C-alpha cells in the first residue's frame, strides 16, 4: 500500500506543511464492523493540524480521494480514517496478481538458513513433545523456503551417553536375544521397552539398599545396575568392540523405527548430526577461550566463563578432570555446522525449558568473536498438555508419537463416517483420507497457536469439521474442487467491472498471501500462516453460501467466480503445504 502512504505524506505536507517519510506512516487493516479496507490513525497529526482527530481525518481523506483514482470513498470514526479502495483496484490485484502463475513466489534472498529440529534420544520412541517440535521445525523450514531462503533441515541425534547404556544393559540382562522381528514391534519401541525395564529394576535395587540402611542418595550411586551402566559407558568411550557393536545394533533398530514415524508425520531432513561424532567437539574452543582471556581456569584446573556482568552466572566449560560438559559439545557442534554450511542464520527448535542454556550458548559464542553468532536463534516453544484420560500412553507418563497418529486416524475415521460422506470411496482411498484428515487435524491444532505458548491438545476438538480446525480447511478445499470439477473455467473470460462485497473480501484476503509468508518467515511463526488460511477458508465459505457460482446471474459472473474459487483453492493448498498439511481433492 505504498501509494497510500505516499499520498498521506503529500496530504500532510500540503495541508499542514510537515515533511513525513512515507515509510514511517503506519496503516492498518480496517476493522470488520466499519466500511473500508485500509485505516490510518489520525491522532499523530493533530499537533500540526491543530484540529480534532475527526477533522484531521476528513481533510486527509478528502485530499487522497481527490489525488488517487484507486480510492473510491472514505469515512472517519473518531480518530480513524477508513479508506475504501475501488473495485478497479481490487480487480487489478486479482487479474494482474492473484491469477498470475507465480503468485506467492518470493525471489531468492541469497541467504542460507539451517533449521535444527527433532533431536531425539535413541533410548526411546518419539513422543508428543517431539511431534510439536517436528511440526514446528518442518513448517518453519517450508515457510523460509517460500520466503526465498535456502534452507538446510538438520537433526542432531542424541545417540550416546548413560541413558543409551541403560537400554543396552537392560537388553543384555533381560532381552534373551529379542529383536524387532522376533518381538513383532518397531525397533524404537523395543529399545524403549528396555529403558523402562532398566528403570524398574534400578528402583528395586535402590529400595533394597535403602532398606539395608543407606540413604536414598547413596543408594542411587551404589546400585549395581547404575554402576554397570557407567562401566559400559566407559567401555563405549574406550572403543570396546563388543559394546560398540551392541550400540550399533540397537541404534540401528531405533533409526529404522524413527524413519517410519517421520514418514507418518510427513517430515524429512537434509542433514543428520550424531552426538557420538560431536561429543568431543568443543575442547579446542575451550583452549581458544583461555587464550583470548574470555574463559578462566580455577585452581582445581576446571575452566569457566563469568557471565555475571551480563545478568547470568558463572558457567562451567571443562571439568577439573579434563572432561567436557554438555555446553562444551554444543559450542563445538555450532562451529561444525557453520564450517559445513556457512549459513547466515541457524535456528534451534527446542522447548522453553532450555531458554537459559541457549542464552548462555549464544553469548559465549559472541564473546569468542564468532561473527556468525549473531545469526543464531532459539525457537522456544511451550509444552503440549492433554485432557486427562484422552490418550493412552505406553509408559504411563508420555504419549507415544505412533500411538498419537493411530488415535488421530481413528478419530478422523469416526468423525468422517458419522457424516456419511465416504460411501463411494475404496478401502485404500478411505485409509489415505483418514490419515490425511487425522494428520491435518493434529498438525493444524499444534501450529495454529503461537509456538511460545503452552497448549492443551484435544483430539476430538481438533477433528471438528466446523471449527477452527485443519479438517474445516481441508473440507473447504474439497468443496472448491467439487465445484471446479463440475465445469471448466474459461481462463480467457472478459474482465468484470463490479464486485460484490463477498467477492471483494475474498480478493483482499488472497492478495495478502505473499506478505503473510514474509511475516511468518520473519517471526519464525507458522501460526501466522495457519490463521491466515483459516480466514481465507471462512471468506470462501461466506462467498460460496451468499452467492451462486454455477447458477450465477450471467456467464461473465460465473466464469469470474470459478476463477476466484480456483485462486482460493490454490492459496489454501499452498498455505496448508507450508504447514506440512495435505488437502484432499474430495471428502
| CATH number reported for the structural domain that contains residue 265 in this entry | 3.40.50.620
CA pair distance 471, 526, nearest whole angstrom: 17
- DSSP assignment, residue 294? S
SS3 50: coil
| Domain co-membership, 446 together with 377 | no
- Spatial neighbors of 203 by CB under 8 A, at least 6 apart, are none
What CATH number is attached to the domain comprising 539? 1.10.730.10
Q: Which domain holds residue 448?
A: 401-578
- pTM (2 d.p.): 0.93
Residue 335 lies in a domain: no
- DSSP assignment, residue 307? -
| Domain co-membership, 504 together with 372 | no
194: left (phi over 0), alpha (psi -120 to 50) or beta: alpha
Average pLDDT of adjacent 10-residue blocks, the chain of 587 residues: 95 96 93 95 96 97 97 96 97 95 94 97 93 98 98 97 96 97 97 96 97 96 97 96 98 98 98 94 95 97 97 96 92 97 98 97 98 98 78 59 94 91 90 97 97 91 93 97 85 81 97 97 98 98 97 93 96 98 95
SS3 176: coil
Residue whose C-alpha is closest to residue 141's, from 529, 544, 571, 538: 529
φ, ψ for residue 161, nearest 5 deg = 115, 175
SS3 76: strand
What CATH number is attached to the domain comprising 19? 3.30.1360.70
| Domain co-membership, 357 together with 445 | no
Residue 326 lies in a domain: no
Residue whose C-alpha is closest to residue 563's, from 492, 502, 512: 492
**pLDDT, position 388:** 66
| Domain co-membership, 151 together with 211 | yes
Residue 331 lies in a domain: no
**pLDDT, position 491:** 60
**pLDDT, position 493:** 60
CA pair distance 442, 436, nearest whole angstrom: 10
Residue 391 lies in a domain: no
- Spatial neighbors of 63 by CB under 8 A, at least 6 apart, are 7, 10, 11, 14, 15
| Domain co-membership, 505 together with 364 | no
- Asked if 223 contacts 206 with a C-beta cutoff of 8 angstroms, the reply is yes
Partners of 349 in the beta sheet?
379
φ, ψ for residue 285, nearest 5 deg = -65, -35
The secondary element (H helix, E strand) that includes residue 84 is: strand 80-85
- Spatial neighbors of 73 by CB under 8 A, at least 6 apart, are 35, 36, 65, 83, 84
Counting Cα atoms < 13 Å in the Cβ hemisphere of 19 gives 0
| Domain co-membership, 564 together with 472 | yes
Residue 361 lies in a domain: yes
**Which grid cell is 52?**
480534532
**pLDDT, position 394:** 47
Domain final position from 385, 416, 438:
385
| Domain co-membership, 144 together with 246 | yes
| Domain co-membership, 447 together with 566 | yes
| Domain co-membership, 51 together with 180 | no
Q: What does the DSSP assignment read for 366-398?
A: HHTT-GGGGGEEEEEE--EE--TTSS--SSSSS
pLDDT digits (tens, 9 = 90+) for 194-241: 999 999 999 999 999 999 999 999 999 999 999 999 999 999 999 999
- Spatial neighbors of 585 by CB under 8 A, at least 6 apart, are 478, 481
Count how many domains the chain has. Answer: 3
The secondary element (H helix, E strand) that includes residue 136 is: helix 128-146
Residue whose C-alpha is closest to residue 145's, from 170, 112, 119: 112
Residue 286 lies in a domain: no
With the C-alpha atoms ordered 266, 455, 568, 482, is the resulting torsion angle positive or negative?
Answer: positive
SS3 251: helix
Amino acid at each position: 500500500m505504498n501509494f497510500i502512504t505516499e499520498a498521506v505524506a503529500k496530504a500532510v505536507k500540503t495541508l499542514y506543511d510537515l515533511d513525513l517519510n512515507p515509510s514511517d506512516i503506519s496503516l492498518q487493516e480496517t476493522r470488520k464492523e466499519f466500511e473500508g479496507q485500509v485505516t490510518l490513525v489520525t491522532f499523530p497529526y493533530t499537533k500540526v493540524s491543530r484540529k480534532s482527530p475527526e477533522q484531521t481525518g476528513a481533510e486527509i481523506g478528502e485530499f487522497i480521494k481527490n489525488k488517487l483514482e484507486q480510492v473510491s470513498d472514505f469515512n472517519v470514526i473518531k480518530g480513524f480514517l477508513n479508506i475504501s479502495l475501488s473495485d478497479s483496484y481490487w480487480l487489478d490485484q486479482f487479474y494482474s496478481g492473484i491469477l498470475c502463475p507465480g503468485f506467492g513466489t518470493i525471489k531468492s534472498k541469497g541467504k542460507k538458513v539451517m533449521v535444527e529440529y527433532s533431536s531425539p534420544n535413541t533410548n526411546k520412541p518419539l513422543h508428543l513433545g517431539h511431534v510439536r517440535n517436528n511440526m514446528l521445525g518442518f513448517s518453519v523450514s517450508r515457510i523460509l523456503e517460500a520466503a526465498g531462503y535456502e534452507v538446510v533441515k538438520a537433526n542432531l541425534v542424541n545417540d550416546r551417553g548413560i541413558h543409551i547404556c541403560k537400554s543396552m544393559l537392560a537388553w543384555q540382562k533381560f532381552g534373551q536375544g529379542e529383536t524387532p522381528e522376533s518381538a513383532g514391534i518397531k525397533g524404537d519401541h523395543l529399545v524403549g521397552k528396555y529403558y523402562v525395564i532398566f528403570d524398574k529394576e534400578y528402583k528395586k535395587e535402590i529400595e533394597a539398599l535403602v532398606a539395608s540402611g543407606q540413604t536414598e542418595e547413596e543408594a542411587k550411586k551404589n546400585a549395581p545396575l547404575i554402576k554397570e551402566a557407567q562401566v559400559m559407558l566407559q567401555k563405549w568411550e574406550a572403543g570396546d568392540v563388543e559394546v560398540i557393536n551392541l550400540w550399533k545394533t540397537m541404534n540401528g533398530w531405533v533409526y529404522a523405527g524413527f524413519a517410519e514415524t517421520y514418514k507418518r508425520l510427513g517430515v524429512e531432513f537434509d542433514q543428520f548430526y550424531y552426538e557420538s561424532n560431536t561429543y568431543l567437539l568443543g575442547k579446542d574452543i575451550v583452549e581458544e577461550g583461555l587464550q583470548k582471556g574470555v574463559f578462566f581456569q580455577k585452581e582445581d584446573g576446571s575452566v569457566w566463563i563469568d557471565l555475571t556482568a551480563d545478568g547470568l552466572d558463572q558457567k562451567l566449560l571443562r571439568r577439573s578432570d579434563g572432561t567436557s560438559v554438555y555446553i562444551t559439545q554444543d559450542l563445538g557442534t555450532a562451529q561444525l555446522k557453520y564450517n559445513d554450511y556457512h549459513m547466515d542464520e541457524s535456528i534451534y527448535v527446542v522447548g522453553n525449558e532450555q531458554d537459559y542454556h541457549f542464552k548462555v550458548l549464544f553469548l559465549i559464542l559472541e564473546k569468542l568473536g564468532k561473527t556468525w553468532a549473531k545469526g543464531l536463534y532459539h525457537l522456544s516453544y511451550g509444552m503440549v498438555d492433554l485432557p486427562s484420560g484422552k490418550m493412552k500412553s505406553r509408559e504411563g507418563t508420555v504419549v507415544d508419537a505412533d500411538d498419537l497418529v493411530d488415535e488421530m486416524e481413528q478419530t478422523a475415521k469416526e468423525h468422517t463416517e458419522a457424516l456419511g460422506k465416504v460411501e463411494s470411496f475404496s478401502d485404500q482411498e478411505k485409509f489415505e483420507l483418514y490419515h490425511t484428515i487425522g494428520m491435518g487435524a493434529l498438525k493444524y491444532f499444534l501450529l495454529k497457536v503461537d509456538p511460545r505458548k503452552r497448549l492443551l491438545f484435544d483430539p476430538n476438538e481438533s477433528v471438528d469439521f466446523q471449527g477452527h480446525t485443519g479438517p474445516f480447511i481441508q473440507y473447504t478445499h474439497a468443496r472448491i474442487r467439487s465445484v471446479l470439477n463440475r465445469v471448466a473455467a474459461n481462463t480467457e473470460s472478459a474482465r468484470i467491472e463490479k464486485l460484490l462485497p463477498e467477492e471483494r473480501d475474498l480478493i483482499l484476503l488472497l492478495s495478502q498471501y505473499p506478505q503473510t509468508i514474509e511475516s511468518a518467515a520473519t517471526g519464525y511463526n507458522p501460526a501466522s500462516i495457519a490463521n491466515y488460511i483459516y480466514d481465507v477458508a471462512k471468506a470462501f465459505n461466506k462467498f460460496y453460501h451468499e452467492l451462486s457460482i454455477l447458477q450465477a446471474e450471467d456467464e461473465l459472473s460465473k466464469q469470474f467466480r470459478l476463477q476466484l474459487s480456483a485462486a482460493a483453492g490454490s492459496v489454501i493448498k499452498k498455505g496448508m503445504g507450508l504447514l506440512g498439511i495435505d488437502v484432499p481433492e474430495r471428502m
